[in-house]
Amino acid sequence: MTRAVPTSHSAAMPAAHRVHNPYASLSESGPQPGTRWLKGNIHVHTREALDESISMDRIHGEDHDEVIRRSQAAPFHFDFVCTSVHPYLNNIELFSRGEQRDDFVVIPGREIQNDTIDDGGYLDGYFAGEHSKYLHVLSMGKVGGLSICAHPNFFETTRPREGGEWTQIKKTLLNPCARLAEMNIMGMEVYNGLSILEEHMGARPYAPHMAEPCWDDLLCEGVRCAGFAGNDEFYREQYVYENYAPLGFIMVAAALNEADILRNVKRNRFYASTGVMLADTPLAMSEQQGRYTLRVSAQDKVKWKAMVQRGVGPTGVGETDAPQLIEITAPTAAAEWELELGGDWKYVRFQAESLDNSLHRAWLQPIYGPGWVDYKTL
């Protein structure tokens, strides 16, 4: 993650940030040889003969080959998965087993659960700090991989725990310890299937907003953050019933191999979804005299929404600009929608919602506007 610098009118303004569309190459030069839209689940646990001490994986995981078989079958039809194990401190470098097949890819993964990292309990944790107890970090790929914050509000909405509120997780992400900073977290799970599967257990509903407020909260702090959707334990029988717990997945424009999938995820050439499919070029952008026209496209008619952060002037001497988050909705359901933005907007992100089921959505990655200023890597 990178954090943006707050600006004030008393300070010299930096040069405008160059606005980049990560989906642009999909329309300008066409797909590269071997590249296509791949459907994958980034969050599924395996029961593998890696370390018999990990009871959680024996209970909730599936065998490696069974994960592949089920992932390719209905209703999933995945091209790839990132499997993961839950290591303890004594085997913190443990990842699941990856595999490259002609028609399928298994990316090795690991989920560090800070609250159970000490042999199933919590003493001091792997990530230091009073706010980090319930932080879960999912890593995809052992070499050249990436990490994300898993289910950021799980211990607030689904399995409430004192100290597990999003406000605590946010403090940890904004002020990371050395170990967390080394992981270079690039995003968060905006949708987690297990969270909605167990929503009835929560202190407050996980739906209808999933972790969208957490995402915007971090973006408004000036932190670049990609949005992911994962299932967590999608082999539970309830996942067959789409209206109850939609499948969470990502669509990546890449070749069918681990290195290219991870490379294009890190380039933000993907979107997250729970059932809405976007067009081959999901977002096109043009600029003229400082005004940006952004056109989003889906395969069918959907309800479009954009979240836009604008800066507003300081309210007093020495105060910095305060963020202003605006929600803009398309006037009618449509497969395409154009939005025009001018001025020093900081970011915009688009999402689409199915006309038939409000839980079926798609989330494009944020576009960072001319008012965005990168500060540092967390």
pLDDT category at 56 given cuts 50, 70, 90 is low
Share above pLDDT 70 across residues of the chain, in percent, rounded to a whole number: 84
Q: Is-contact 98 110, C-beta < 8 A? A: no
CA distance 185 to 149: 7
The tens digit of pLDDT for each residue in 310-343 reads 976 555 555 555 668 999 999 999 999 999 999 9
pLDDT category at 377 given cuts 50, 70, 90 is very low
Share above pLDDT 90 across residues of the chain, in percent, rounded to a whole number: 69
The tens digit of pLDDT for each residue in 243-286 reads 667 889 999 999 999 999 999 999 999 999 999 999 999 999 99
The tens digit of pLDDT for each residue in 57-72 reads 666 677 899 999 999 9
| Residue 106, phi then psi, degrees to nearest 5 | -110, 115
Q: Which residues contact 276 (CB under 8 A, 6 or more apart)?
A: 298, 302, 352, 353, 354, 360, 361, 362
Residue 6 has pLDDT above 50, yes or no: no
- Between these two residues, 39 and 54, which has the higher pLDDT value? 39
Q: Which H/E stretch holds residue 100?
A: strand 99-100
Overall average pLDDT of the 118-139 stretch: 93
DSSP 128-195: -STT-TT-EEEEE-SSS-EEEE-STTIIIIIS--TT-SHHHHHHHHHS--HHHHHT-EEEEEEEEHHH
Backbone conformation region of residue 10, classed left if phi is above 0, alpha if psi is from -120 to 50, else beta: alpha
